[in-house]
Structure 1
Amino acid sequence: MAQSAITQVSPELAMINEISPQDFNQLVQQNRFKSVILHRPEHDRGHGVTVYQLRDIAEQAKISLIYQPIDQAKNAQTDIQAFARYYNSLPKPILIMCKSGQRSMELYQQAKQQGLLND
């Protein structure tokens, strides 16, 4: 993975920023994650990879991919609650993704601070 590095947030959660389809395919084939939550809006593509490409790769690897686009750095309470529902219900470990990682980390931290995550 040339440009993307995985940050281990907790035993059940890791975060990655921009990723190419090839790197994502390689990552999911390693079988480290059972679920992925993508926070990057479609118009904010980075490497040019689309949500549909990522979803196809995830489906082939038989892992869940949830698309929860977050369009701003400040998360609404509804975004935080939705993230917590996904986090609590998806098979773990989970990989969260966005262009820089900031949106994903903020959602996780805010949900954790509010006591919404079943850790």
Structure 2
Amino acid sequence: MEYRPIADDYAVSGQITAEDVQAIKEAGFRSIICNRPDDEQPGQPTAQEIAVAAAAADLIFRHIPFTSGQMTDEDVRKMVEALDEIPGPVFAFCRSGARSTNIYAAAKQVKEG
């Protein structure tokens, strides 16, 4: 599993599996955000599967799904709330990491006013 740091307390990756969650914890992350809708691609793990693995690893999990290219103001608001509420560093994922990068940038813009 590879990931890209976007900020000191935020990194992104493509799709993860429940088996990746322990490595995420061992890398020092305290929370996971999934920006991918379930059933976007056949065979991808569900958000619930990742949430169960995250809970077992003592990590916080949030699901803020949106379709690529269709991020809404409501999605950004949910991301702002999540980043305010959950402990970092945060590991976020989607299909490629792009959505998780874009929504983070949008949330930062909102927070910075």
Fold agreement, TM-score > 0.5? yes
Q: State the shift of 1:20 in Å.
A: 2.7
Which structure 1 residue ranges, 5 or more long, are not aligned?
none
Q: Larger helix proportion, structure 1 or 2?
A: 2
Q: Which residue of 1 aligns with 2:5?
A: 8
Which structure 2 residue ranges, 5 or more long, are not aligned?
none
Say which of 46, 49, 62 aligns to 1:50. Answer: 46
Q: Which runs of 4+ in 1 moved over 4 A?
A: none
- Which TM-score applies when normalising by structure 2? 0.87
8 Å CA contact 2:33–2:93 kept in 1: the answer is yes
Q: State the shift of 1:71 in Å.
A: 2.0
TM-align CA RMSD: 1.8
Identical aligned residues as a percent: 22
**Which whole-Å CA distance do the structure 2 matches of 1:86 and 1:11 have between them?**
17
In structure 2, give the amino acid aligned to 1:11.
Answer: D
In structure 2, give the amino acid aligned to 1:24.
Answer: V
Change (3 A) 1:51 1:45: farther
Q: Deviations over 1:87-117 (max 9, x none)?
A: 1111111111111112111111112223x16
- Which TM-score applies when normalising by structure 1? 0.83
Paired residues, number: 112
Q: Deviations over 1:51-93 (max 9, x none)?
A: 1211111001111100111123231111111101101111111
Residue 97 of structure 2 is aligned to residue 113 of structure 1 = no
**Which whole-Å CA distance do the structure 2 matches of 1:91 and 1:108 have between them?**
15
In structure 1, give the amino acid aligned to 2:9.
Answer: E
Q: Which residue of 1 aligns with 2:55?
A: 59
Say which of 29, 33, 41 aligns to 1:33. Answer: 29
